[in-house]
Copies of this chain bind each other. A is one copy, B any other.
């Protein structure tokens, strides 16, 4: 049973209110733990750790060179973000992916991306515009990765892509919307990664179109382009990622093959 905490009893709650904002996003956490968390997240997003893969502490300890305690902490975080799962006493595994999941999260993304974008445009500043210009520039320097590009190129493109999309909505005033938008964007990155690996389809320069609509403060156009951007991505994944559309996805499993 819980022992008592040496703290004043709580009666009225008329005291104790603060004024700051709400969800804590990626801020610098505990140096080491956060480092492991970031690396693991990146590895899951890039499918280095594959969907459904069992995450054994033994292997993880070697890979990230840290202790189980630190690993558990990071894994716990990933579970909340929906990138991993855990079950009572049988450890952790990478969260599964599925067409249904991708459709579901994309639908919510359309709402959150357009909502935050509209609000960001409404409250845009010079610095906001500058970061959009700058991050778009960096993104445009890298052509959209092809299936045979090396991993590092794909990863760098992924980083710049995220930075650009973050820049677009940076001045949105709703911390909660931004927080969930960011989580879903990361979720979608796993599917983007699979698409990048499989699809050779060349898309017209949607990022440029969005940038220009945003800088022109044309909220309706920008949002409608953004919506199309997301939906096109879904269609591309559906048509080009084998196994995603069929229910047989279950047949294609993690890395682990049974031994002997």
Which residues of A line the B interface, CB within 8 A? 1-8, 10, 12-24, 27-31, 33-34, 39, 47-48, 50-53, 59-60, 62-65, 69, 72-74, 76-77, 79-82, 85-89, 95-98, 100-101, 104-105, 107-108, 111, 173-177, 179-180, 184, 187, 193-194, 197-198, 241-244, 247, 249-250, 252-255
**CB atoms of A175 and B18 under 8 A apart:** no
Interface pairs (26), CB distance under 8 Å: A2-B63, A2-B65, A3-B62, A4-B62, A4-B63, A6-B62, A10-B50, A13-B50, A16-B255, A17-B97, A17-B243, A18-B96, A19-B247, A20-B96, A21-B104, A22-B95, A23-B82, A27-B87, A28-B87, A28-B88, A30-B88, A30-B89, A33-B76, A105-B176, A108-B177, A180-B180
Identical copies of this chain, number: 2
Closest residue of chain B to A1, judged by CB?
A: B65
Q: Smallest Cβ distance from A104 to chain B, in angstroms?
A: 5
Chain B residues near A65: list those with CB within 8 A: 1-3
Q: A6's contact among B18, B59, B243, by CB below 8 Å, is which? A: B59
Assembly CA distance A105 to B59 (angstroms): 40
**CB atoms of A13 and B76 under 8 A apart:** no
Q: A88's contact among B6, B29, B95, by CB below 8 Å, is which? A: B29
State whether A96 and B175 are in contact (beta carbons under 8 Å apart), knowing that A30-B89, A88-B29 are contacts in the complex.
no
Q: Smallest Cβ distance from A186 to chain B, in angstroms?
A: 12
Assembly CA distance A174 to B23 (angstroms): 23
Closest residue of chain B to A111, judged by CB?
A: B111
Assembly CA distance A80 to B197 (angstroms): 30
Chain B residues near A105: list those with CB within 8 A: 22, 176
Closest residue of chain B to A61, judged by CB?
A: B3
